[in-house]
């Protein structure tokens, strides 16, 4: 990239229209987060209504995640072929419809099957907002945009137990959890808003040869498609390229780090109400304090958005992951309401707030024509190992080994993720997406990789 082009990109900032698009994508993720967050809060009433065993609980927790795994990988191909926006709208309509149907389920098995089906749509949607916003954002503000975007996920996770604390006691165990699922229907209305106002990725449009449409979108951001960082008629990349140079090392790193960080989130979101009940809290207090703990990740993500452009992706991911691991080790040692909730807040602050950093790091590993597939495969592996397998194991450990051993497991997983980023990761802060992703194939200078 020329010095002039680099200076042009460095001077770019988040304009009002960019912030509006960011808010649109963020609200879509908030709706999705609320849907996913329901699993943890409905476990408590379902355990009483249907006498769930540890294995039943593990299946319920893992069902939607298994659907996400099944949906996210084929979605990667569709995202790269048909565009980010189109898949975002379609997936929102699909999973919102299925989630509404879950409110009429007559058994925990029906809930599990419907969560599996809803997961197909959730999986298709998961990688799109941060892929789209990464491609819309200036180079030096991608991390900040991801932090703001991801903070809305935490608002959704915070909303689920907060509403549960109100509706379940007021309406009763059976009616309360059903109403929570009916609220998912708001996604059907919001899908039209996204269709009407959210733009397509200009990078994807350029890669498809649709330069006029891309120029119109970039013009509204004060950017130009003539910058060298934007792709010009790049040939489509096959998914098999993920396992060849220069992408193999990045793929290995992401397939280790991404699941470990996702697991920290799933451990907090899915099991915190259950853990607090085990600690002697009433169901209502368990919901309220779980909501407070989840809410701690919101300021954590805003701090992450500020630090990630100063420290870089690697340093932040390693620091936050290890801090969360320490908090997990301290959690079983906490005694009394204040100490338990305080350590839980620290765990969520670092363990969930690290999410946007690993997500933008994932999107920065691949070029535009491979980004959808690369991110989708990473999400798929991450959800399978970190969102389905590891939580199922934790449900068994929590039932048989108690709180102490289950949080030792969380700490060990966090350490593995930090180690993988430290040894295999390459810093991407401030680099243009194609400059980072194409590496030696493009002849562009890379950080620790490629040639000049």
Cβ pair 41, 111 in contact under 8 A: no
Distance (Å) of CA 424 to CA 207, 239, 245, 247: 29, 21, 14, 12
Dist CA 219 CA 240 (whole Å): 35
Dist CA 378 CA 257 (whole Å): 10
Q: How would CATH label the architecture of 3-441?
A: Up-down Bundle (1.20)
Distance (Å) of CA 72 to CA 66, 119, 120, 353: 10, 9, 7, 22
User: What does the pLDDT read at residue 285?
Assistant: 85
User: What does the pLDDT read at residue 224?
Assistant: 61
Among candidate residues 98, 84, 100, the one with its CA nearest the CA of residue 24: 84
List of residues 6+ apart from 23 with CB closer than 8 A: none
Instruction: State pTM to two decimals.
Output: 0.70
- Helices then strands, counting H and E runs in the chain, come out as 20, 0
What does R_g of the chain's alpha carbons equal in angstroms? 21
Phi and psi at residue 431, to the nearest 5°: -85, 145
pLDDT tens for each residue of the chain, 452 residues long: 344 434 333 444 567 887 888 889 889 888 888 888 788 788 888 888 898 887 888 788 778 878 887 888 788 778 878 888 999 999 999 999 999 999 999 899 999 999 999 989 888 887 787 778 777 777 677 777 777 777 787 788 778 878 888 888 888 888 889 999 999 889 999 999 999 999 988 888 887 888 888 888 877 776 665 554 554 545 556 666 777 777 889 999 999 999 999 888 878 877 888 888 888 888 778 878 888 888 888 888 888 888 888 888 899 999 999 999 999 999 989 888 889 999 999 999 999 889 888 988 888 888 777 777 888 888 888 878 887 777 778 888 888 888 888 899 999 999 999 999 999 988 877 666 554 555 444 333 333 333 22
Cβ pair 181, 99 in contact under 8 A: yes
Side-chain-facing half-sphere of 259: CA atoms under 13 Å? 24
Q: Is the peptide bond before 246 cis (omega within 30 degrees of 0)?
A: yes
Cβ pair 450, 444 in contact under 8 A: yes
Cβ pair 81, 156 in contact under 8 A: no
Cβ pair 40, 352 in contact under 8 A: no
């Amino acid at each position: 990239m020329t010095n002039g082009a680099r200076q042009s990109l460095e001077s770019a900032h988040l304009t009002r229209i960019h912030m509006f698009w960011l808010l649109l994508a963020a609200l879509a993720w908030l709706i999705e987060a609320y849907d996913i967050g329901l699993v943890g809060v409905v476990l408590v009433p379902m355990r009483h209504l249907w006498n769930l065993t540890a294995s039943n609980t593990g299946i319920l927790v893992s069902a939607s995640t298994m659907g996400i795994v099944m949906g996210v990988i084929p979605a990667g191909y569709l995202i790269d072929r048909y565009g980010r926006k189109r898949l975002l709208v379609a997936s929102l309509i699909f999973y919102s419809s299925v989630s509404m149907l879950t409110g009429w389920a007559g058994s925990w098995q029906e809930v599990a099957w419907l969560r599996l089906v809803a997961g197909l749509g959730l999986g298709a949607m998961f990688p799109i907002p941060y892929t789209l916003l990464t491609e819309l954002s200036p180079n030096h503000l991608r991390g900040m945009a991801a932090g703001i975007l991801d903070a809305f996920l935490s608002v959704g996770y915070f909303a689920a137990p907060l509403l549960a604390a109100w509706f379940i006691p007021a309406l009763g165990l059976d009616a309360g959890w059903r109403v929570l699922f009916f609220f998912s229907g708001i996604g059907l209305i919001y899908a039209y808003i996204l269709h009407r106002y959210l733009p397509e990725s200009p990078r994807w449009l350029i890669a498809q040869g649709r330069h006029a449409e891309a120029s119109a979108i970039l013009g509204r951001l004060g950017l130009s498609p003539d910058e060298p960082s934007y792709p010009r008629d790049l040939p489509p990349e096959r998914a098999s390229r993920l396992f060849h140079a220069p992408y193999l090392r990045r793929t290995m790193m992401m397939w280790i780090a991404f699941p470990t960080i996702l697991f920290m989130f799933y451990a907090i979101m899915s099991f915190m109400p259950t853990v607090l009940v085990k600690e002697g809290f009433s169901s209502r207090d368990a919901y309220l304090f779980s909501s407070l703990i989840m809410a701690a990740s919101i300021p954590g993500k805003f701090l992450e958005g500020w630090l990630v452009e100063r420290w870089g992706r690697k340093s932040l991911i390693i620091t936050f992951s290890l801090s969360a691991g320490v908090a997990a080790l301290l959690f079983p040692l906490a005694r009394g309401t204040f100490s338990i909730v305080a350590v839980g807040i620290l765990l969520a602050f670092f363990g969930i707030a690290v999410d946007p950093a690993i997500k933008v790091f994932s999107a920065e590993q691949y070029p535009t024509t491979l980004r959808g597939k690369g991110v989708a495969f990473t999400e798929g592996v991450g959800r399978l190992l970190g969102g389905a397998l590891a939580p199922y194991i934790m449900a068994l450990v929590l039932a048989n080994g108690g709180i102490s051993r289950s949080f030792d497991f969380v700490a060990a997983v966090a350490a593995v993720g930090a180690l993988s980023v430290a040894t295999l990761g390459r810093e991407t802060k401030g680099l243009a997406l194609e400059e980072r992703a194409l590496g030696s194939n493009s002849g562009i200078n890379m950080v620790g990789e490629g040639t000049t």
